[in-house]
Amino acid sequence: MAVLDASAFIALVRREAGSAAVVGFMHDAAMSSVNYSEALSILCRAGLPIEVGGLAVEALQVEILPFTAGQARIAAQLYAETSSSGLSLGDRACLATAIDRGEQAVTADRVWGDLDTSADVVVVR
């Protein structure tokens, strides 16, 4: 399973750079509920109805995973490891979900390629 960051999902929906690489992970993709909320917020900010994001998740069959207390602790621990990179809570939620589940984290944020964490990160652009 690939755990999608909001940036990867948005790249796919908007057909941005890296979207073709994200397609390769869609056979078994999931997103944390935190990242799903973040992606919907980004689409809304761009003027798209919130339903667009919901329909995209359904059409692409992206599983929405609940964000657990254990994952919240991992995300908090990641703050110290990633604070110099400026990662958001959403970024750390994706990483925490991937670490907790032993899966790859897929992102369009290049800065993740330089992270020194236990996460298996794939940067798509």
Dihedral sign, Cα of residue 87, residue 90, residue 93, residue 97:
negative
Sequence-separated contacts (24+) of 74-78 with Cβ below 8 Å: 74/99, 74/100, 78/117
CA 22 to chain centroid, in Å, comes to 11
pLDDT tens string 12-69:
999 999 999 999 999 999 999 999 999 999 988 999 888 888 888 888 899 999 999 9
Compute and round to an integer the Cα radius of gyration of the chain.
13
pTM over 0.85: yes
Question: What's the N-to-C CA distance of the chain in angstroms?
Answer: 20
* Other Cβ atoms within 10 Å of 121 Cβ, number: 18
CATH superfamily of 2-123: 5'-nuclease (3.40.50.1010)
Domain ranges of the chain: 2-123
